[in-house]
Chain A
Amino acid sequence: MKHVLKGLVAATAMASVLATSGFAADEPKRGGTLITVLGSNVRNLNSAVQSGIVTGFPGAQLFASPLRYDEDWTPQPYLAKSWSVSEDGLKVTLNLVEGATFHDGHPITSSDVKFSVKVIQENHPFKAMFAPVESVDTPDEHTAVLNLSQPHPALMLAMSGQLMSIIPEHIYGDGQNPKSHPRNNVDVVGSGPFKLVEFKNGEHVILERYDGFFMEGRPYLDKIVMRIIVDPSARAIALENGEVHISAFESQPQIINRLKKVDSLTVTSEGYGAIGPLDWLAMNAGSDGPTGNVKVRQAIAYAVDKNFIHNAIMQGTVTDAKTGIHPDSPFYEPDVEAYELDLDKANALLDEAGFAKGDDGMRFGLTIDFGWPSAKPHVEYVKAALKKVGINVTVRASADFPTWAKRMGTMDFDLSWDAVFNWGDPVIGVHRTYVSSNIGKGVWSNTQGYSNARVDELLEMAGKENDPEKRKALYSEFQKIVAAEVPIYFANTLPYHTVYSDKVGNPPLGIWATSSPIDLMYLKD
């Protein structure tokens, strides 16, 4: 709430300063150099072959996608000026903007769209995005028709943000492996509002306005300097000093709360709905051990106090998440079992499950894993919380991220703290965690070994249901079942925040945060 208030105060102040023009007339202004940051090194600027939020920021500036989304989850024209879905849902036609060009002046045509779909299908880690796309027809230069094997409502979100970068066939179609193509990081020829000037890994990515961009008058900024600053404290200092205009994906509660106190900065958690990052306690539901018993899992959920996680560990920087779908998503179902703290119920469930307390007051032992340092307080908390109901939890440290990822991927765990992203449509980032066909296929698959025939059926139906209302009902039932069987105890959204100075106009507060074009962003005087 604080940031909203602050925004209001800022707006009022602005209005009084610009007494004659008023806030609404604060017109976007051309020009200026935006200084922003990336929170880690960039492996690859080509967002058609590389996922992740660090590639997403420069990737969405360098490459345009067919659609973009407003903050209400409504698709808007971007590289496709219009689109239509056939009656049976098996044909999606994109009408491309005419006269659009790549950064080297070549026209962007439907064959580039066809090529991009093929490259993404073959190389992007999110296979579900374009899996039903069987072929792409190109009846003319500006029309691309995606032929689907089944209705695929997820396609809409998969055609936006960083997920469907249109890359030039005349550069990447030379037969080299697109994942390691030499032009991925050097001399990039993109389709988006900004072109690459310089990329020095560990230092910066510098982008410059592409004058031939297909949207008239945009982008507003002349130049974007993305400084690579890995240390969150160093980023915070740069923001406090005004050296950096905007930083997205800030996630350390202490730093977020510290920056909220800086007058010239606005700190907001808006704009991450489609990224959909969720923080949760994974339980090995497929295990032969105690976590394989649904009553044990429910007991664990009742023994963990969400309020403590939200207020003490995350210091009030997160919002509640009760299911595997991000609360900002139109498919979120808030009316599910919430597992309010109830130690008596937890004890009763454990007794029922046949795990009586021993002489020392303990019932059985479990291990808990964590994959990154900031999750350590969470697992320490779970250890302390479960001791109260007689579960002796041993924390297992992983030497590094790959060690943890391997344990998760091979389901070698009882409990683990985990964070998984929705990535737009549930088909892309949600189904993978629950469908039984994806059990134990590496980290962030169905690592919980969760298997429920009804859930499989619901997700399959929801994946091809074009009617939004019916689809919502299917997802609603799915979320209720998962909440009841708790293969995962959902804790909250990740505390991602965008921090920007009062010089920034039109910060990216849509559903894709900075994984979307910032052609509307401008710098105030």
Chain B
Amino acid sequence: MTDTPILPKEEIQKARHPMAEATEMFMKNHAAVAAAVVLMLIVLAAIFGPYIYPTDPFDMVWAPFSPPGEAGFLLGTDYLGRDLLAALIHGARVSIVIGLAAAFMSVFIGVTVGALAGFYRGYVEEILMRITEFFQVLPTLLFSMVIVALFGASLPMITFAIGIVSWTAVARITRSEFLRIRELEYVTASRASGASNGKLMFRIILPNALPPIIVQSALMVGSAILFEAGLSFLGLTDPNVVSWGQVIGSNRQYILDASYTVTIPGMAIFITVLAISLVGDGLNDALNPKLRQR
């Protein structure tokens, strides 16, 4: 952008706040907008659903395996006669909270490691990148299974297990952005005017490295939800908390008798993760300045 020619006066006046520009770009991606609406609905359901539909997902409310719609149960009941709609609504909270928390954790670790490595280079980078590679070559699902199996299947531990195995991509992206940006003139200029390392890293370089990191973290929420579903499916979950993956996992042996008990939560995961991916895609369009000029 440094080589952008000086614009005519009227063009300069037309330039707007980057956020407004990004929003406009996002709005142009209709799929992403639709996904954002769906996502919003799911989040609202997760927040307010349990108050509107207070049925305890662990209560047996009707005969087992009542198909959807029967006796007023919109999504039917599972193998113990528990309301699947209640499980879906209450499970949304857990799935989304774990997704967000695990993504936040991996972004936090990833950005810290990537920023330090990319900024300081030298032996700091050597050490941090070897550690990153160590986590990269571990089979992620297996590693998190071991963590959960060893330390117990509580929600914080599951979140930790997902977060600890998925930060490497963020670290690598952050590092590469830092490596690129730290050589740019404005960074050199800030350094020359006496900015401290901390300020350089987090006030000057990081904000400019954010776009790809934001996109990556949005996608990470989706993959964390999938990850949680995978762990729950294998039974590595807190049995006192309902999540979508857990509903699938505990109903899976009844798939031939009552397939809806598995497909309904499966669809919920599918729709949520797809929506997150599409929103991530839209963010990518919106935040990528090269695309903006197209």
Contacts and interface: CB of A to CB of B under 8 A. Distances in A.
Interface in B7-60: 56, 58-60
Contact residues of B: prevailing secondary structure: loop
Contacts of A383: 58, 240
Contacts of B257: 254
A387 B59 contact: yes
Interface stretch (B145-153, B166-174, B280-288): B145-153
B240 A384 contact: no
Contacts of B148: 399
A310 to B, nearest CB: 13
Nearest to B257: A254
A380 B58 contact: yes
A385 B240 CA distance: 14
* Chain A contact surface mostly: helix
B266 to A, nearest CB: 19
Interface centre among A258, A394, A395, A399 (most CB of B within 10 A): A399
Given A380-B80, A381-B80, A397-B238, A252 B253 contact: yes
B239 interface: yes
A501 B235 CA distance: 34
B95 interface: no
Contacts of A381: 60, 80
Contact of B239 (A254, A380, A399): A380
A158 to B, nearest CB: 37
Contacts of B237: 397
Interface string A230-270: 00000000000000000000001010001000000000000
Contact of A312 (B59, B64, B256): B64
A376 B79 contact: no
B253 A254 contact: yes
Contacts of B67: none
A384 B149 contact: no
A384 B239 contact: no
B interface residue count range (under 10 / 10 to 19 / 20 to 34 / 35 or more): 20 to 34
B90 interface: no
B58 A384 contact: yes
A125 interface: no
Nearest to A252: B253
Contact of B80 (A252, A258, A384, A395): A384
B80 A399 contact: no
Nearest to B60: A384
B152 to A, nearest CB: 7
Interface in A305-359: 312-313
A188 B56 CA distance: 58
Interface string B223-241: 0000000000001011110
Interface string A374-386: 0011011101110
Given A254-B253, A254-B257, A387-B59, 4 more contacts: A312-B79, A379-B239, A394-B240, A397-B238
Closest 4 CB pairs of A and B: A395-B239, A399-B149, A312-B64, A384-B60
Interface of B: 56, 58-60, 64, 79-82, 148-150, 152-153, 235, 237-240, 250, 253-254, 256-257
30 contacts: A254-B254, A254-B256, A254-B257, A258-B256, A312-B79, A313-B79, A313-B80, A376-B235, A376-B250, A377-B250, A379-B239, A380-B58, A384-B58, A384-B59, A384-B80, A384-B82, A387-B56, A387-B58, A387-B59, A394-B240, A395-B239, A395-B240, A396-B239, A397-B153, A397-B235, A397-B237, A397-B238, A399-B148, A399-B149, A399-B150
